[in-house]
């Protein structure tokens, strides 16, 4: 299956979008930090073969999507939700399956809960529901320590300099050191992420997602309606940043919930273990609800 890249103009941005497949059923894939649309390279062909038109954009502030606002307010979750809605509108699709990993999953959770556009299915990878995350941060010292980087990112300027220093060595290490199975994190893959992170304005945009989340909150403050969309969570259990206990309590916020836990797989679940993730995706998306 050939993956091509196009530019989609939506909500005042020029989104770089990897795409494959055709038709009225959109699978919209939202990446995390410090990733890009490239993180869905193993799932795009599968979804296209299943009959979806697949779009995997570089999200606001990332990769080849332009412009890259420098102000924190531009990365309020409410504004990011507007991007998702605008991409859906630009696609002209009749049905939408939203798939997210890491920060893309946090955005997908918030979008599904607030429902600015209807969704057929929701797939979440290695990020807890925001309400569950907030509860654990308030009462769990262990998770608070794991989330140290979120607070470090609040410092002006310094995180950008450190993460991009030495040819973005910190970005390379984030993938390689955290991965359990490093097979898919070859030098060319790490080069791609380092190159994207070093684009002008990119690292500030990427880190501003964290700054806006802690300083401005927006829809991340709730309230949290129960999500009616059938939802699948795929979770690599060896996630060094987010403990598997963050799954506890999710059922209070989702009407129709399926959880698939993958032992021995890290936070980078869809990249590290596509041979495990893709069959789960295919079976769940193919099953009637």
Write down the catalytic residue from 31, 101, 129, 267: 267
Q: Is 210 part of the annotated catalytic residue set?
A: yes
131-148 burial string, b = 16+ CB within 10 Å, else e? Answer: bbbebbeeeeeebeebbe
Write down the catalytic residue from 193, 210, 239, 253: 210
pLDDT (0 to 100) of residue 259:
98
User: 242: which residues sit within 8 A by CB, 6+ positions away?
Assistant: 126, 127, 128, 143, 146, 267
The owner of tokens 């040819």 is 167
pLDDT tens digits along 119-154 = 999 999 999 999 999 998 888 888 989 999 999 999
pLDDT (0 to 100) of residue 138:
86
Overall average pLDDT of the 66-83 stretch: 98
How many helices (H) does the chain have, and how many strands (E)? 11, 8
Overall average pLDDT of the 211-222 stretch: 96
The CB density around residue 193, as the number of other CB atoms within 10 Å, is: 21
pLDDT (0 to 100) of residue 34:
98
Q: Is 248 part of the annotated catalytic residue set?
A: no
In the structure encoding, which two tokens stand for residue 105, read together? 């999953």
Q: Is 267 part of the annotated catalytic residue set?
A: yes
Overall average pLDDT of the 33-48 stretch: 98
Write down the catalytic residue from 18, 58, 102, 239: 102
CATH class of this structure's domain 4-286:
alpha beta
Q: How far apart are CA 114 and CA 196, in angstroms?
A: 31
Q: How far apart are CA 206 and CA 174, in angstroms?
A: 14
pLDDT (0 to 100) of residue 74:
98
């Amino acid at each position: 299956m050939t993956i091509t890249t196009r530019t989609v103009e939506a909500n005042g941005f020029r989104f770089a979008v990897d795409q494959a497949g055709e038709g009225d059923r959109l699978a919209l894939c939202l990446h995390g930090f410090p990733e890009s649309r490239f993180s869905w390279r193993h799932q795009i062909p599968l979804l296209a073969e299943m009959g979806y038109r697949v779009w995997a954009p570089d999200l606001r502030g990332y990769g080849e999507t332009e412009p890259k606002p420098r102000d924190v307010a531009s990365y309020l979750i409410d504004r990011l939700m507007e991007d998702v809605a605008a991409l859906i509108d630009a696609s002209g699709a009749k049905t939408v399956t939203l798939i997210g990993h890491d920060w893309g999953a946090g955005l997908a959770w918030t979008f599904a809960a607030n429902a600015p556009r209807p969704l057929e299915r929701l797939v979440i990878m290695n990020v807890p529901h925001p309400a569950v995350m907030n509860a654990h941060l308030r009462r769990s010292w262990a998770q608070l320590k794991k989330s140290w980087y979120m607070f470090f990112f609040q410092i002006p300027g310094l995180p950008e300099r450190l993460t991009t220093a030495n040819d973005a060595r910190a970005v390379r290490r984030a993938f390689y050191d955290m991965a359990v199975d490093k097979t898919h994190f070859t030098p060319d893959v790490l080069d791609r992420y380092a190159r994207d992170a070093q684009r002008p304005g990119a690292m500030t945009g990427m880190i501003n997602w964290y700054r806006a989340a802690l300083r401005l909150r927006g829809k991340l403050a709730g309230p949290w309606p129960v999500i009616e969309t059938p939802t699948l969570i795929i979770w690599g259990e060896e996630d060094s940043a987010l403990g598997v206990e963050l799954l506890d309590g999710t059922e209070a916020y989702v009407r129709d919930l399926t959880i698939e836990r993958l032992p021995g797989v890290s936070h980078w679940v869809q990249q590290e273990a596509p041979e495990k993730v893709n069959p789960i995706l295919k079976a769940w998306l193919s099953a009637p609800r």
